[in-house]
Amino acid sequence: QVTLVESGGGLVQAGGSLRLSCAASERSFSSCAVGWFRQAPGKGRDFVAVISWSGINTYSSDSVEGRFTISRDNAKKTVYLQMNSLKPEDTAVYYCAAYPSLDSFSLATVEDEYDYWGQGTQVTVSS
């Protein structure tokens, strides 16, 4: 079992930046691939970015490519999502999720692949 806690959300103007954090207390977190998803009001939950357990490989959706960067610090058991050049359409609740995998090429983009989920953090981008 892995418990995930997101933080760093808030209100920001368009063009601004935020950094989200996803922290875990269990050592097994370091053996998990970790992804970020988001859910805008009235819409389904969409994939944003994923990072392998080692941090070597990442993959991001086209909508955030070049603006968002996912990274991790396994010593701190934390994954980050640096969000730059934010747009109003980035407004959503952001969730981090994880699944056990020591395959550095395992980068799941589908919700069903993930075993553990955080409670979410709200990001609001004003125009």
Q: Mean of the per-residue pLDDT values for the chain?
A: 96
pLDDT attached to residue 94? 98
pLDDT attached to residue 110? 97
CA distance 57 to 11: 30
pLDDT tens, 21-46?
999 989 999 999 999 999 999 999 99
pLDDT tens, 64-80?
999 999 999 999 999 99
Q: Higher-confidence residue: 102 or 52?
A: 52
pLDDT attached to residue 104? 85
pLDDT attached to residue 25? 87
- Rounded to 10 degrees, the C-alpha dihedral 92/98/101/107 comes to 0
Counting Cβ atoms within 10 Å, is residue 15 exposed (0-12), middle (13-18) or buried (19+)? exposed
pLDDT attached to residue 114? 98
